[in-house]
Amino acid sequence: MKIFSKDQKIPWYMTLFILTLFTLGMFADVLFSSQNIILSNYRTDIARQFFYWRDFGFSQLAQGTIPLWNPHIFSGAPFFGGFQSAILYPPNILFLILPVTKAINFSIALHVLLIGFFMYLWTNYRNLHPLACLFSSIILMFSGSYFLHIYAGHLSNLCTVAWIPLVFLCVDRLFDERSLKWFLIGISSFTMFMLAGHPQYVYYTALAIVIYSVLRLIKAKHRCGIVIGLAAVCAGSLLLSAVQILSGLDAAGESVRSAVSHLYTARFSLPPENIITMLVPDFFGDGVNMSYWGRFFLWEMSIFIGVTGLSMAIYGALYGERQKRHFSLTMVIILFVLALGAHTPLARILYHWLPGFDNFRGASKFISLLAVFLVMMAGIGLDDLLRNKYRSFTMPVMLLLAGLTLLGAAFGMFYAMDHANIQSFFQQIINYIARSGESYLPTLVYSDPDFIKAAHHFAMKALLRSALISLLLALLFFAVKYHRLFVYIIAILGVVEIFVFANASKQVFNADTLKNAAMEKFLREHPGDYRILNLVNPNNAMSIGASDIWGYDSVVPLRYDRFLKFTQGMDPNNATQYLVLEKAHRLFNMLRCRYFFIPKKNEFSIIEGKDVMNRIHLIPRWQVISKPDDIFKEMNNPAFDPRQTVILETLPNIEPVQTAGTGECMIEDSSTNYLNIRAKLAHPAILLITDSFSESWQAVAMPASSQKHYTVMPANYTLMAIPLSSGEHHLRLEYKPRAFVVGLWISLSALMIYLILVVIAARKSKFS
């Protein structure tokens, strides 16, 4: 029986149609629901940040403003420079067309479809059997390393990783042919990859491309031309995305990411015990029916491509054509070692010697790249089964042994349920995880007998399920020798298995819970230019038009983080993006924090702060302290009054008068990125702006201002100050990073050149 001939190709539009059907089969109930629901778990990142980022960013864009600065969290912070804002990522046009809720769901579905389609294009280029190409595509779409990020609400992860197969297809193409067409496609795919919003995946993929290219160059001809071509594609994509990259690097340079330690970067390495997720994906729980009790988070630690997919990958490694593998097995091994991170000496070597590696944590993200090559191996394995005579009985024997081992483990756990001395072994596994300090479940849970019993029973069922699939596969592989029909049954089993796995992890939540109507109503009834501290969800401020002194983001301004650590009695020099504000501090008044929203069951209680400062103040006195620790020591002095004295780090360019009654000031106009300020002073003073300092804030004199040059300085370590001479002032304070301006010109220039090359390539193709 032959559904496809060996050399038959499926037209790309037919493949796209088939993959769209699978995508709709998974998401149609959500995409076309009349309810206001969002894909992902209600406690993960869409509910905590991405909904608000997209809501704020694209509402500003719809008004004709590129939101460079975010005034709503951290008392103000860079926004465009945060890579995950993804303002320039073309598929995010969905957020300008659709409501945020719908746009999120369609964006997720679109990228699940894209990763499958791009995987098809790559496997098709490797000349795999059409069914093997479809098999690989569907396996990758619903694999644990990709699909589980939907549960986690990782929009930027899903968008970025979707482009990895296309990026490697372009690399393969550039090795085999040096055409203008694939040079331009390579640039565009690399650019989309960079703009999608997750720089860590870009960095890790760039490292993987270097390793892969070095391996392929060993036997390649015309090496110099290949290297030049790859370098040109890299340069072209960097130039096109320069505005995002330079802005991101600029923002990261002022964030906690610029001061992290090796201990920070070592976190979220792939735990060695999680290799079991290749066969038993929910041994440690699935997060839906049973809490995940393994180390870190399941969506970062799952290598599951299906028992069938893994079996086909092993078969591909053993029997697949070498010409089609192109070092895929070698890449799987290398990427697995890299994913282990801190569990190998290699991670520390890379931290100290590889530029940029020390800026990221979470080496486990290498499993997304590992999965792509593993799925390629699975496709190669199925391709060999479909094209060639069945090689040996090695696979059914291996699967039989694996199935019996898993079955024995499952029955052993069943037997242990009534024997405390054996059950204690499972308790030891749980204790090992608990002692690691790398689990996000409360420590007391690991000593709860009911939890241990539930985890024990769930793991037993997971082992049993994988055992039965392994045994069924052993039977099917054995039967292949006698009839080719069983090859197609294996492929169908793999697709059904991975689809069921993915569907079991799919969750939605009600988007109405994202905007707190009661809080929004309260703030509407109490207008003013002040800030709040929302201990429930600080990023909510971006959607309800409030301003919060805290937030949830991967790039927290470093100065601000240190200041708030000081207010909590912590070491300001210990940089981290995670901080829990547990107590109020008198200097919160300096941040304009007027209301504290304290969670209370399903409601919140409100505490009002007193004597809250305004957004701008004229301060008559100042003192210069250059060392941060000395600044915090001075501000900790009960006598320090930010209304009367400002702490600067360098001398201002005005003469001290030290007198009261300095004058008056007002904000004439303001927007996301700027403030227009008027001031009238009888004596020189410091204009204090109670917003977070950044070196990219610039003050420019406007017509009729008595002072022609203004300097923006850090004040009280984390705020902004502008020295003013006596007289009348009219100035514009604007957040306009030089990196953004330079990057914009580079990107626009590169885009013009790119479009000219596209026209040349199109004309050449037309007349060739």
pLDDT at 539: 92
d(CA 348, CA 265): 10
C-alpha of 118 from chain center: 20
| pLDDT for residue 260 is more than 70 | no
pLDDT band at 768 (very low <50, low <70, confident <90, very high): low
Least confidently predicted of 278-282, 350-354, 357-361, 658-662? 658-662
The owner of tokens 């400062």 is 613
The owner of tokens 């060739």 is 768
pLDDT in tens, 539-556: 999 999 999 999 988 778
SS3 531: strand
- CA nearest neighbour of 179 among 237, 217, 229, 125: 229
pLDDT at 351: 85
- DSSP lists the bridge partners of residue 623 as 647
Residue ranges of the domains in the chain? 12-390+481-509, 515-608, 616-736
pLDDT in tens, 19-77: 999 999 999 999 999 999 999 999 999 999 999 999 999 999 999 999 999 999 999 99
Residue pair 731/696 in contact (Cβ under 8 Å)? The answer is no
d(CA 207, CA 588): 44
Global pTM value = 0.93
pLDDT band at 239 (very low <50, low <70, confident <90, very high): very high
**Cβ atoms within 10 Å, residue 71:** 24
pLDDT at 767: 57
pLDDT at 5: 46
The class level of CATH for 616-736 reads: mainly beta
Least confidently predicted of 456-470, 565-579, 745-759? 565-579
Reported in sequence order, the residue ranges of 30-185 that DSSP labels E, i.e. its strands, are: 37-39, 69-70, 77-78
Reported in sequence order, the residue ranges of 673-718 that DSSP labels E, i.e. its strands, are: 674-681, 685-689, 697-701, 713-715
- DSSP lists the bridge partners of residue 713 as 721
pLDDT band at 658 (very low <50, low <70, confident <90, very high): low
pLDDT at 65: 92
- CA nearest neighbour of 686 among 709, 713, 668: 713
pLDDT band at 660 (very low <50, low <70, confident <90, very high): low
- CA nearest neighbour of 161 among 312, 356, 370, 460: 370
Length of the chain: 768
Find the mean pLDDT for residues 147-155. Answer: 96
pLDDT in tens, 495-521: 999 999 999 999 999 998 888 888 899
pLDDT at 482: 85
Reported in sequence order, the residue ranges of 155-203 that DSSP labels E, i.e. its strands, are: none
Find the mean pLDDT for residues 378-402. Answer: 89
d(CA 718, CA 688): 11
pLDDT at 659: 59
pLDDT in tens, 194-211: 999 899 999 999 999 999
pLDDT at 1: 37
Provide the residue type at 146 as one letter. Y
Provide the residue type at 505 as one letter. S
- CA nearest neighbour of 473 among 324, 325, 367, 314: 314
Contacts of 448 (CB under 8 A, 6+ apart): none
First to last CA, the chain: 41
- Own/partner contacts of 578-586, CB < 8 Å, gap of 24 or more, are 579/550, 581/533, 581/535, 581/549, 581/550, 584/609
Region of 406 on the Ramachandran plot (φ > 0 left; ψ -120 to 50 alpha; else beta): alpha
Residue pair 38/102 in contact (Cβ under 8 Å)? The answer is no
Provide the residue type at 277 as one letter. T
d(CA 113, CA 165): 12
pLDDT in tens, 681-734: 988 999 999 999 999 999 999 998 999 999 999 999 999 999 999 999 999 999
Contacts of 462 (CB under 8 A, 6+ apart): 280, 281, 282, 283
pLDDT at 109: 98
pLDDT band at 263 (very low <50, low <70, confident <90, very high): low
Share the mean pLDDT of the chain.
90
Instruction: Say if residue 344 is exposed, middle or buried (CB neighbours under 10 Å; 0-12, 13-18, 19+).
Output: middle
What is the token pair recorded at 385? 């089964």
Give the whole-number percent of the chain exceeding pLDDT 70.
95
d(CA 86, CA 463): 41
- Helix, strand, coil shares of the chain, percent, nearest 5, are 55, 10, 30
Residue pair 407/464 in contact (Cβ under 8 Å)? The answer is yes
C-alpha of 481 from chain center: 46
